[in-house]
Chains A and B, each alone.
Chain A
């Protein structure tokens, strides 16, 4: 279910055409919801049979456990923990099996090596864990099988979020009907256009231009450039995907969480995590941080570090991800720059530089290279005129320098435009006139090479 490939849209339109015909015959609410579930499962199944099978396993565990657990006045924590562990089992197997066993033994068993993580596993598993805990803990009514299935499998967000809460998504799906609303369609389409622009025009071009540059790990300017590339790329890649998901859901009359709220316009890490991958931050807050004591815990700093380290490993099985998470946790604990009476533009610059620096821990999985690059960046002596002069030699030709400068400028311009409407996120970029320009840019600027969404790996 890759929103940037024509095959997805063809499958979706074909599915919607069948549904349009079917809803003329079957007009009951129940039929509409059944057709939505069928569409979601078909689109997921088109990914691969394994993807569908793993989803059905996690869903079955969740649904079968809901009834007996919800029937008890106070279900034992141990039992609840066991069910959550069962829900997490495929995630542990596919995502962490190789990493965990290779840390214990010198080599992971062949069964665990080169395993492909089923698409969306990290996202729908967390959503179903949330559903189970909310239903049991808050003694909420048991959702019907169909509503529960739609909640778990709603196709716009199953693959890469947002990770929705029961209270936000379930009531909308319980009254879901396929109906054509031109306003909803137009509103949703504007978010889809913004998402496609971010993914196909910005993230894809950043990926192809950066791939042509030879990065010397001893040259700090080139390492900064590499980090800057990734800073832009991961944002436009993931925010782009999230906005397409938001747009599709909006067109269908469902309101999802806006997963990004101009995160690069923040001046401290606490605020950054309120605006970056919003639904994941909320999930960790509600299901891990608060249950472990939250702000009232006497070990609050250690707890924050732990939650961020877990958030790090959620992103990928590797020590670099844990380090990245822990680094962010540490930076969250530090007082914001503004406390030092630093002017806001300077505070923004320092914070943005730190965010850019921390992405190095995210994308560099080779520990030797990571150490070398970190040392380079932190050693003032490496910032020599010779290294500055060597920047141009890293590019294959002059055209590549121009194209790189242009894509960085376009990426920065898009962020600058976000900054003009921070109170209403992305209002200018989803403006109708802007969308007309974005359509032209998407069509003319998309490169021939295609890269997978980065978050598909998570």
Chain B
């Protein structure tokens, strides 16, 4: 073997070593350091600890995107219904699979699982690969995930690293929410407030969207039924511009009506607000994150409509 061949071989090995070490660092970051994942892993662990001491079924388990995490006051629901309730919500970025898997993992036969999330999450194909945040959660919890998902989780991305670097340089917290905002039975609260006027366009969903949402509900309903759990779905409360309130309510009611016509077997809960509110004082930092007071009010209204 001549010297240039052996130099080339050595460099090829070095390239491979660089790739594997970077993957290792990425994996370590995703599973132990990524601020958002670490926050949610801690939240999930706290909830698991609370649920370990629960009474026998039935229970009301709420899950969904951050509208659920911030919007459901499980203590208010428990007080109003007399049934022990738990908030097991996650975030939209995690994807439906992560928080539904977590909630189903905790559910017992006879429990009712109430899914609260933006319709877009139902429309996304549930069989597609996990989102990056979802893959990172799976890596950190740890939970079963495929090899491509593990690779995906270990690649934080330019935007994430630059944003994190900038926050650290400016002395800002790397993630806006803190565990001090965790409330017993799973709700997340925040003191952050944003000036918002609300959604100014009505929800627009096509026939294909309704079918896709129905397919997702069918898929999850089958899994719930296999475990003896009842699945229900509820639209989250969204801050809406007063001028668009009626229009958006009608659009959301129409979506629910069309969804109810499909054969997915899931009970759909409707509220008088129809997923829309024009009161900005009920909302914290996004159009879907309720304040503690807003969550208590929404939860009390909801408790009256939960099927027993």
| Contact across chains for A6 and B12 when beta carbons are under 8 A apart | no
| Contact across chains for A448 and B152 when beta carbons are under 8 A apart | yes
User: Which interface residue of A182, A183, A193, A208 has the most chain B CB atoms within 10 A?
Assistant: A182
In the bound assembly, the distance between CA atoms of A402 and B167 in angstroms comes to: 10
In the bound assembly, the distance between CA atoms of A447 and B11 in angstroms comes to: 27
Residues in A with CB closer than 8 Å to B152 are 448
In the bound assembly, the distance between CA atoms of A193 and B166 in angstroms comes to: 28
In the bound assembly, the distance between CA atoms of A448 and B149 in angstroms comes to: 11
A432: Cβ under 8 A from any B Cβ: yes
| Contact across chains for A443 and B26 when beta carbons are under 8 A apart | yes
Residues in B with CB closer than 8 Å to A407 are 158, 162
Residues in B with CB closer than 8 Å to A435 are 15
B148: Cβ under 8 A from any A Cβ: yes
A371: Cβ under 8 A from any B Cβ: no
Which of B12, B26, B148, B166 meets A189, CB within 8 Å?
B12
Stretch at the interface among B17-25, B185-193, B209-217, B279-287: B17-25
In the bound assembly, the distance between CA atoms of A406 and B155 in angstroms comes to: 18
Chief secondary structure at chain A's binding surface: helix
Given contacts A436-B15, A448-B132, contact A183 B161 (CB under 8 A): no
Given contacts A182-B12, A432-B11, contact A439 B18 (CB under 8 A): yes
| Contact across chains for A444 and B155 when beta carbons are under 8 A apart | yes
Which of A402, A439, A446 meets B162, CB within 8 Å?
A402
| Contact across chains for B12 and A186 when beta carbons are under 8 A apart | yes
| Contact across chains for A444 and B9 when beta carbons are under 8 A apart | no
| Contact across chains for B158 and A182 when beta carbons are under 8 A apart | no
Residues in A with CB closer than 8 Å to B157 are 444-448
B83: Cβ under 8 A from any A Cβ: no
In the bound assembly, the distance between CA atoms of A216 and B308 in angstroms comes to: 53
A379: Cβ under 8 A from any B Cβ: no
Which of A183, A193, A201, A432 meets B158, CB within 8 Å?
A201
Residues in A with CB closer than 8 Å to B18 are 436, 439-440
Which of B9, B15, B148, B159 meets A182, CB within 8 Å?
B9
B5: Cβ under 8 A from any A Cβ: yes
| Contact across chains for B19 and A443 when beta carbons are under 8 A apart | yes
| Contact across chains for A399 and B12 when beta carbons are under 8 A apart | no
- Give the Cβ gap from B268 to chain A, nearest Cβ, in Å: 32
In the bound assembly, the distance between CA atoms of A436 and B131 in angstroms comes to: 28
Given contacts A399-B166, A403-B158, A403-B159, contact A444 B15 (CB under 8 A): no
Residues in B with CB closer than 8 Å to A448 are 131-132, 152, 157
| Contact across chains for B155 and A446 when beta carbons are under 8 A apart | yes
A205: Cβ under 8 A from any B Cβ: yes
Given contacts A205-B158, A402-B163, A403-B162, contact A443 B22 (CB under 8 A): yes
- Give the Cβ gap from B148 to chain A, nearest Cβ, in Å: 7
A185: Cβ under 8 A from any B Cβ: yes
Residues in A with CB closer than 8 Å to B8 are 182-183, 185-187
- Give the Cβ gap from A398 to chain B, nearest Cβ, in Å: 8
In the bound assembly, the distance between CA atoms of A183 and B9 in angstroms comes to: 8
| Contact across chains for A444 and B11 when beta carbons are under 8 A apart | no
Residues in A with CB closer than 8 Å to B11 are 186, 432
- Give the Cβ gap from B118 to chain A, nearest Cβ, in Å: 18
- Beta-carbon contacts under 8 Å, B142-158 to A: 148, 152, 155-158
A134: Cβ under 8 A from any B Cβ: no
Which of A182, A205, A439, A446 meets B19, CB within 8 Å?
A439
In the bound assembly, the distance between CA atoms of A209 and B160 in angstroms comes to: 12
| Contact across chains for B159 and A183 when beta carbons are under 8 A apart | no
B206: Cβ under 8 A from any A Cβ: no
B4: Cβ under 8 A from any A Cβ: yes
- Give the Cβ gap from A427 to chain B, nearest Cβ, in Å: 16
In the bound assembly, the distance between CA atoms of A78 and B245 in angstroms comes to: 70
Residues in A with CB closer than 8 Å to B19 are 439, 443
- Give the Cβ gap from B97 to chain A, nearest Cβ, in Å: 16
In the bound assembly, the distance between CA atoms of A403 and B157 in angstroms comes to: 11
In the bound assembly, the distance between CA atoms of A373 and B294 in angstroms comes to: 45
Chain A 1-37 interface mask (CB, 8 Å, partner B; 1/0):
0000010000000000000000000000000000000
- Give the Cβ gap from B252 to chain A, nearest Cβ, in Å: 25
B79: Cβ under 8 A from any A Cβ: no
In the bound assembly, the distance between CA atoms of A193 and B14 in angstroms comes to: 13
- Give the Cβ gap from B197 to chain A, nearest Cβ, in Å: 16
- Beta-carbon contacts under 8 Å, B1-44 to A: 4-5, 8-9, 11-12, 14-15, 18-19, 22-23, 26
Which of B131, B148, B167 meets A6, CB within 8 Å?
B148
24 sample A-B contacts, Cβ–Cβ < 8 Å, listed by A number: A182-B9, A185-B12, A186-B8, A186-B12, A189-B12, A193-B15, A205-B159, A402-B163, A403-B159, A403-B166, A406-B158, A406-B162, A439-B15, A439-B18, A439-B19, A440-B22, A443-B23, A444-B22, A444-B156, A445-B157, A446-B155, A446-B157, A446-B158, A448-B152
Q: State the B residues within 8 Å of A (CB).
A: 4-5, 8-9, 11-12, 14-15, 18-19, 22-23, 26, 131-132, 148, 152, 155-159, 161-163, 166-167
> 13 other contacts beyond A183-B4, A444-B157, with CB at 8 A cut-off?
A182-B8, A183-B8, A186-B9, A402-B162, A403-B158, A403-B166, A436-B15, A440-B22, A444-B155, A446-B155, A446-B157, A446-B158, A448-B131
Nearest 7 pairs of A and B residues by beta carbon:
A186-B8, A399-B163, A445-B158, A402-B166, A182-B8, A443-B22, A403-B162
